[in-house]
């Protein structure tokens, strides 16, 4: 009798498939609620239900992507957007200068871009000691990845010119070495940009400190 009672007790304590299914469904629902209300706003800045803003979680997502913040940061909290007065454009801060050099191995490439507001201008000159594939292009603020807009694209060894940003974003050059020899690229620029960023072969983004051009 005792053994039968123990066996019956074990059977009664073992959860049925229906109970397991209900418990699993509840766990999934709870996890989804936590994901939508807390994880997405805090980790990725996505707030579909508005709970992230209400709970103060959305600003936490900003620390997850410091490179984007660096790209979009204005100088001294002042956006370098010109105020036009006829042919003259007035800016809230002085222009900057920058010089840099890249050594590209065989079949390597690099991108180097400046943060420019709409209608901000810059002057540039670059040279290479070998033939390069070249593309002067820009990435519009808020655009998806790989949505660059090309302005000047052809194979050449040097270029000098002026550039006026048609939209706010990061603007600059893609240089690719199509040969089996090492190529060195030297760039000098001056303009109303806020910062510079380098995009390397592995697609990683690296904020660059501006190096003022040395006057000879």
pLDDT in tens, the chain (216 residues): 454 544 444 445 555 777 766 777 676 766 666 656 665 555 555 555 665 566 555 444 443 343 333 444 444 557 899 999 999 999 999 999 999 999 999 999 999 999 999 999 999 999 999 999 999 999 999 877 677 899 999 888 999 999 999 999 999 999 999 999 999 999 999 999 999 999 998 889 999 999 888 765
* Range list of β-strands (E), the chain: 83-85, 88-90, 96-104, 109-116, 121-140, 149-164, 169-176, 183-191, 196-199, 205-208
The model's pTM:
0.63
């Amino acid at each position: 009798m005792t053994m039968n009672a123990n066996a019956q007790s074990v059977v009664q304590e073992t959860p049925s498939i229906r109970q397991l299914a209900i418990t699993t469904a509840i766990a999934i629902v709870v996890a989804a609620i936590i994901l939508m209300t807390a994880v997405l706003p805090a980790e990725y800045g996505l707030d579909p239900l508005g709970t992230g803003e209400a709970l103060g979680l959305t600003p936490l997502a900003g620390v997850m992507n410091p490179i984007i913040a660096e790209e979009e940061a204005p100088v001294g909290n002042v956006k370098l957007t010109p105020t036009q007065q006829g042919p003259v454009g007035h800016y809230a801060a002085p222009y900057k200068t920058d010089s840099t050099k890249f050594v590209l191995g065989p079949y390597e490439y690099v991108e180097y871009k400046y943060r420019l507001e709409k209608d901000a201008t810059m002057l540039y000159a670059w040279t290479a000691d070998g033939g390069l594939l070249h593309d002067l292009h820009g990435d519009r603020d808020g655009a998806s990845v790989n949505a660059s807009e090309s302005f000047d694209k052809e194979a050449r060894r040097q270029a000098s010119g002026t550039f006026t940003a048609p939209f706010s974003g990061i603007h600059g050059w893609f240089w690719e070495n199509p040969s089996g020899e090492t190529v060195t690229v030297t760039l000098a620029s001056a303009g109303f940009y806020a910062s510079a960023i380098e995009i390397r072969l592995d697609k990683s983004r690296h904020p660059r400190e501006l190096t003022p051009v040395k006057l000879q």
